[in-house]
A and B are shown apart, each in its own frame.
Chain A
Amino acid sequence: MATEPLLVAENLHLRFGTTVALDSASVAVHAGEVLALMGPSGSGKSTLLHCLAGILHPDAGRVTYAGRDLTAMHDSERSALRRTELGLVFQFGQLVPELTCLENVALPLRLNGAPRRAALRSAAAWLERLEVSDVAGKRPGQVSGGQGQRVAVARSLVTRPRVVFADEPTGALDSLNGERVMQLFVAAARETGAAVVLVTHEARVAAYSDHEAVVRDGRVRTMEHVR
């Protein structure tokens, strides 16, 4: 690709005690692309995703976002970036149980200082976009797994981030439901121009990506050469 990648990880190393989770992992994400991270269980996919999202700090190596060194940033600067330019979707438990689904989606906007009414209006539009307007007033404990995931996707996109990170976003869903979530997720991301970095072990989910990178033993093999 001709353009500079938006997000680059170079030679990341990370250990948990004696476990080597990342062993010189490198990967590049371009603006607007959907990248699937695949690979066996325990290979380091989630760890890599967390490093890319600035949630985990690698022992060595560098993560660069839009030309800025994420690994050298102050914590406050990094959290500000996470709030405004990055979005997250995880498999479980990411919604605040005390808030309604609508309030959950509005939350990132509120944290960024948006007025309550504007935030709720925007949140409602996103719930509609993900076809779950009907659960707006319910709490996360009162909705199905698939509905909850759609709400989480809406919440990840509400701030119009430039990159959304998703770890097994369809993991707990049956294949029909999981696919619908992926369809809506990818369509919405493309509409807002957000790049998506997606961890999945399901080929049918990965088929919604533009490219895949395979993580194995803490290293990444990109499949550029076969394209």
Chain B
Amino acid sequence: MSVGHALLGLLEGGPRHGYDLKRSYDERFGADRPLAYGQVYSTLARLLKNGFVEVESEPGAGPERKRYAVTDAGVADVAAWLAQPEKPEPYLQSTLYTKVVLALLTGHDADAVLDTQRAEHLRLMRELTRRKDGGDLADQLVCDHALFHLEADLRWLELTAARVQQLAAHVRP
């Protein structure tokens, strides 16, 4: 999971304090793994160093009173992340779910995120299918195992694609 991208995406809604940002992340994506404060601040520090966020300090404020705003470079980084398919691997759905929600929140094409990922999965499935058809029984069984898993991911992608409108209504305030 790319926490940095998720935070940047959330900041596209407007500048926020680190605490706010953590809460918002946990609400949307942290069901089984809320962020630790340390991780929030270390991630923000990295984003700051890379020029993806900037800080609006309030007078006399300590570190926890800093407000973070996403920069143009940060917005571009989120867009690039959304456009890039994930490497197909098990338990991808939480990353993909995050991407779809963030695409909806930031006004990107959520269908495109899903279609790009489908294309990436299919590309690998084609490769495995070729290897399977040319292989012995052991190859076939190994490839089939991977194919069934990728197929399950794809079915989830289809299901999500069919429900994007519903999800949009749900995630947008």
Binding site for B on A (CB under 8 A): 38, 40, 183, 201-204, 206-210, 212, 214, 216, 221, 223, 226-227
Contacts and interface: CB of A to CB of B under 8 A. Distances in A.
B118 A214 contact: yes
Nearest to B126: A207
16 contacts: A40-B162, A183-B133, A201-B158, A203-B154, A207-B126, A208-B129, A212-B118, A214-B115, A216-B111, A216-B161, A223-B116, A223-B118, A223-B119, A226-B120, A227-B119, A227-B123
A101 to B, nearest CB: 26
B104 interface: no
Contact of A203 (B111, B112, B122): B122
A202 B152 CA distance: 11
Nearest to B116: A226
Q: Which of B128, B129, B158 has the most CB of A within 10 A?
A: B129
Contacts of A208: 126, 129
A183 B85 CA distance: 28
Contact of B125 (A183, A204, A214, A216): A204
Contacts of B125: 203-204, 206-207
B60 to A, nearest CB: 50
Query: Lowest 3 A-B CB distances belong to which pairs?
Result: A207-B125, A223-B119, A207-B129
Q: Main SS of the interface on chain B?
A: helix
Interface of B: 85, 111-112, 115-116, 118-123, 125-126, 128-129, 133, 147, 150-151, 154-155, 158, 161-162
A226 B85 contact: yes
A181 B8 CA distance: 48
B119 A207 contact: no
Contacts of B158: 40, 201
A204 B116 contact: no
A226 B123 CA distance: 10
Contacts of A204: 125, 129, 147, 151
B116 to A, nearest CB: 5
Contacts of B120: 226
Nearest to A187: B133
A204 B118 CA distance: 12
A148 B108 CA distance: 46
A221 B162 CA distance: 15
Contacts of A214: 115, 118
B85 to A, nearest CB: 7
A127 B126 CA distance: 27
Q: Which of B85, B116, B118 has the most CB of A within 10 A?
A: B118
A171 B26 CA distance: 42
Contacts of B116: 223, 226
Given A40-B158, A206-B122, A223 B151 contact: no
Contacts of A207: 122, 125-126, 128-129, 147
Contacts of A183: 133
B117 to A, nearest CB: 9
A214 B133 CA distance: 25
A13 to B, nearest CB: 21
A203 B119 contact: no
A226 B83 CA distance: 9
Q: Which of B111, B115, B151 has the most CB of A within 10 A?
A: B115
Given A204-B125, A221-B115, 17 more contacts: A202-B151, A203-B125, A203-B150, A206-B122, A207-B126, A207-B128, A207-B129, A207-B147, A212-B119, A212-B122, A216-B111, A223-B116, A223-B119, A226-B120, A226-B123, A227-B119, A227-B123
